[in-house]
Amino acid sequence: MNPELEELYQEVILDHSRRPRNFGTLADAAVCVHGDNPSCGDEIDLGVKFGADGSLQEIKFSGQGCAISQASASLMTMKLKGKSRTAAEEMLHAFHGLVAGESDDAAPSLGDLRLLRGVRKFPQRVKCAMLAWRALEEALRQNAGQATVSTESDFVRPIPDGTTRPGPGL
Protein backbone atom coordinates (compact mmCIF):
# COMPACT_ATOMS: atom_id res chain seq x y z
CA MET A 1 0.00 0.00 0.00
CA ASN A 2 1.46 3.36 -0.92
CA PRO A 3 1.65 6.05 1.79
CA GLU A 4 -1.12 8.06 0.19
CA LEU A 5 -3.54 5.16 0.21
CA GLU A 6 -2.53 4.33 3.75
CA GLU A 7 -3.42 7.85 4.77
CA LEU A 8 -6.80 7.60 3.10
CA TYR A 9 -7.35 4.24 4.76
CA GLN A 10 -6.66 5.79 8.14
CA GLU A 11 -8.87 8.75 7.44
CA VAL A 12 -11.91 6.81 6.28
CA ILE A 13 -11.60 4.17 9.00
CA LEU A 14 -11.19 6.76 11.74
CA ASP A 15 -14.05 8.85 10.39
CA HIS A 16 -16.42 5.88 10.39
CA SER A 17 -15.33 4.70 13.82
CA ARG A 18 -15.82 8.17 15.30
CA ARG A 19 -19.06 8.95 13.49
CA PRO A 20 -20.58 5.55 12.66
CA ARG A 21 -23.40 5.66 10.10
CA ASN A 22 -26.69 3.84 10.66
CA PHE A 23 -25.83 3.66 14.33
CA GLY A 24 -28.59 2.92 16.80
CA THR A 25 -31.32 0.45 17.60
CA LEU A 26 -33.78 -0.56 14.91
CA ALA A 27 -37.06 -0.60 16.84
CA ASP A 28 -39.02 -2.70 14.32
CA ALA A 29 -36.18 -5.02 13.29
CA ALA A 30 -37.21 -8.49 12.08
CA VAL A 31 -33.98 -10.00 13.30
CA CYS A 32 -31.39 -8.88 15.86
CA VAL A 33 -27.98 -10.47 16.14
CA HIS A 34 -25.45 -9.91 18.88
CA GLY A 35 -21.88 -10.44 17.76
CA ASP A 36 -18.82 -10.90 19.96
CA ASN A 37 -15.15 -10.78 19.14
CA PRO A 38 -13.57 -11.90 22.41
CA SER A 39 -10.01 -11.73 21.10
CA CYS A 40 -10.29 -7.93 20.84
CA GLY A 41 -13.30 -7.14 23.01
CA ASP A 42 -15.46 -5.88 20.15
CA GLU A 43 -19.24 -6.15 20.41
CA ILE A 44 -22.00 -5.36 17.98
CA ASP A 45 -25.78 -5.52 17.87
CA LEU A 46 -27.13 -5.66 14.35
CA GLY A 47 -30.79 -5.16 13.46
CA VAL A 48 -32.27 -5.84 10.03
CA LYS A 49 -35.74 -5.17 8.68
CA PHE A 50 -36.69 -6.87 5.43
CA GLY A 51 -38.90 -5.35 2.75
CA ALA A 52 -41.81 -7.18 1.13
CA ASP A 53 -39.44 -8.36 -1.62
CA GLY A 54 -36.98 -9.70 0.96
CA SER A 55 -34.48 -6.89 0.49
CA LEU A 56 -32.62 -5.35 3.41
CA GLN A 57 -34.93 -2.39 3.83
CA GLU A 58 -33.35 -1.10 7.03
CA ILE A 59 -30.15 -2.04 8.77
CA LYS A 60 -28.68 -0.51 11.91
CA PHE A 61 -26.02 -1.42 14.39
CA SER A 62 -24.79 -0.38 17.79
CA GLY A 63 -21.82 -1.55 19.71
CA GLN A 64 -18.36 -0.77 20.93
CA GLY A 65 -14.89 -1.86 20.09
CA CYS A 66 -11.84 -1.02 18.07
CA ALA A 67 -11.85 1.35 15.10
CA ILE A 68 -11.67 -1.50 12.58
CA SER A 69 -14.72 -3.30 13.96
CA GLN A 70 -16.86 -0.16 14.15
CA ALA A 71 -15.75 1.20 10.78
CA SER A 72 -16.38 -2.13 9.09
CA ALA A 73 -19.90 -2.23 10.57
CA SER A 74 -20.61 1.36 9.56
CA LEU A 75 -19.37 0.85 5.99
CA MET A 76 -21.28 -2.42 5.77
CA THR A 77 -24.62 -0.92 6.74
CA MET A 78 -24.16 1.91 4.23
CA LYS A 79 -23.39 -0.59 1.53
CA LEU A 80 -26.18 -3.06 2.26
CA LYS A 81 -29.13 -0.80 2.98
CA GLY A 82 -31.76 -1.40 0.30
CA LYS A 83 -29.82 -4.27 -1.29
CA SER A 84 -31.34 -7.63 -2.20
CA ARG A 85 -30.54 -10.67 -0.13
CA THR A 86 -28.48 -12.14 -2.95
CA ALA A 87 -26.46 -8.95 -3.32
CA ALA A 88 -25.84 -8.93 0.44
CA GLU A 89 -24.64 -12.54 0.39
CA GLU A 90 -22.35 -11.83 -2.55
CA MET A 91 -20.91 -8.84 -0.77
CA LEU A 92 -20.34 -10.91 2.37
CA HIS A 93 -18.32 -13.45 0.41
CA ALA A 94 -16.44 -10.82 -1.57
CA PHE A 95 -15.54 -8.97 1.63
CA HIS A 96 -14.43 -12.14 3.38
CA GLY A 97 -12.27 -13.03 0.39
CA LEU A 98 -10.73 -9.58 0.52
CA VAL A 99 -9.83 -9.41 4.22
CA ALA A 100 -8.84 -13.07 4.48
CA GLY A 101 -6.46 -12.52 1.57
CA GLU A 102 -8.08 -15.16 -0.62
CA SER A 103 -8.52 -12.85 -3.56
CA ASP A 104 -6.15 -10.19 -4.79
CA ASP A 105 -8.67 -8.35 -6.90
CA ALA A 106 -11.18 -6.61 -4.71
CA ALA A 107 -14.68 -6.61 -6.12
CA PRO A 108 -15.36 -3.05 -7.27
CA SER A 109 -18.83 -3.35 -5.73
CA LEU A 110 -17.20 -3.24 -2.29
CA GLY A 111 -16.35 0.45 -2.71
CA ASP A 112 -14.80 1.98 0.42
CA LEU A 113 -14.87 -1.41 2.12
CA ARG A 114 -11.81 -2.20 0.01
CA LEU A 115 -9.86 0.12 2.29
CA LEU A 116 -10.08 -2.55 4.98
CA ARG A 117 -7.95 -4.95 2.96
CA GLY A 118 -4.93 -3.88 5.04
CA VAL A 119 -6.16 -6.12 7.88
CA ARG A 120 -5.25 -9.25 5.90
CA LYS A 121 -1.71 -8.93 7.24
CA PHE A 122 -3.02 -9.19 10.80
CA PRO A 123 -5.11 -12.30 11.52
CA GLN A 124 -6.48 -10.85 14.78
CA ARG A 125 -7.73 -7.77 12.94
CA VAL A 126 -9.47 -9.93 10.33
CA LYS A 127 -11.82 -10.99 13.13
CA CYS A 128 -12.45 -7.33 13.97
CA ALA A 129 -13.28 -6.55 10.35
CA MET A 130 -15.47 -9.65 9.99
CA LEU A 131 -17.50 -9.21 13.19
CA ALA A 132 -20.34 -7.18 11.64
CA TRP A 133 -20.38 -9.52 8.65
CA ARG A 134 -20.64 -12.59 10.84
CA ALA A 135 -23.64 -10.94 12.47
CA LEU A 136 -25.10 -10.20 9.04
CA GLU A 137 -24.55 -13.78 7.93
CA GLU A 138 -26.46 -14.99 10.98
CA ALA A 139 -29.23 -12.42 10.43
CA LEU A 140 -29.74 -13.67 6.88
CA ARG A 141 -29.80 -17.25 8.06
CA GLN A 142 -32.23 -16.67 10.95
CA ASN A 143 -34.47 -14.24 9.11
CA ALA A 144 -36.37 -13.47 12.31
CA GLY A 145 -35.88 -13.38 16.05
CA GLN A 146 -32.68 -13.05 18.04
CA ALA A 147 -29.33 -14.72 17.65
CA THR A 148 -25.75 -14.54 18.83
CA VAL A 149 -22.50 -15.12 16.97
CA SER A 150 -18.87 -15.15 17.93
CA THR A 151 -15.77 -14.77 15.81
CA GLU A 152 -14.37 -17.72 17.74
CA SER A 153 -16.83 -20.14 16.13
CA ASP A 154 -16.83 -21.47 12.56
CA PHE A 155 -15.69 -19.48 9.61
CA VAL A 156 -18.04 -18.15 6.96
CA ARG A 157 -20.15 -21.00 5.68
CA PRO A 158 -21.20 -21.54 2.10
CA ILE A 159 -24.30 -19.81 0.79
CA PRO A 160 -27.30 -21.88 2.03
CA ASP A 161 -28.28 -23.22 -1.41
CA GLY A 162 -25.01 -25.13 -1.42
CA THR A 163 -23.35 -23.36 -4.31
CA THR A 164 -20.47 -20.97 -3.98
CA ARG A 165 -21.29 -17.79 -5.72
CA PRO A 166 -18.20 -15.62 -6.08
CA GLY A 167 -18.92 -11.94 -6.40
CA PRO A 168 -17.88 -9.95 -9.44
CA GLY A 169 -14.16 -9.60 -9.73
CA LEU A 170 -13.33 -12.63 -7.63
Binding site for Zn ion (CB under 5 A): 40, 42, 66, 69, 128
73 vs 88 by CB, closer to Zn ion: 73
42 vs 90 by CB, closer to Zn ion: 42
Shortest reach from residue 20's CB to Zn ion, in Å: 14
Shortest reach from residue 151's CB to Zn ion, in Å: 9
- Helix locations, 42-147, DSSP H: 67-80, 85-99, 123-142
* Strands of the sheet with 42-50, listed across from one edge: 56-64, 42-50, 31-37, 145-150
Question: Does residue 67 contact residue 41 with C-beta atoms inside 8 Å?
Answer: no
64 vs 86 by CB, closer to Zn ion: 64
18 vs 141 by CB, closer to Zn ion: 18
Q: Please name which of 69, 78, 24, 26 lies closest in space to residue 50, comparing C-alpha atoms.
A: 26
C-alpha 96 chain-centroid distance: 9
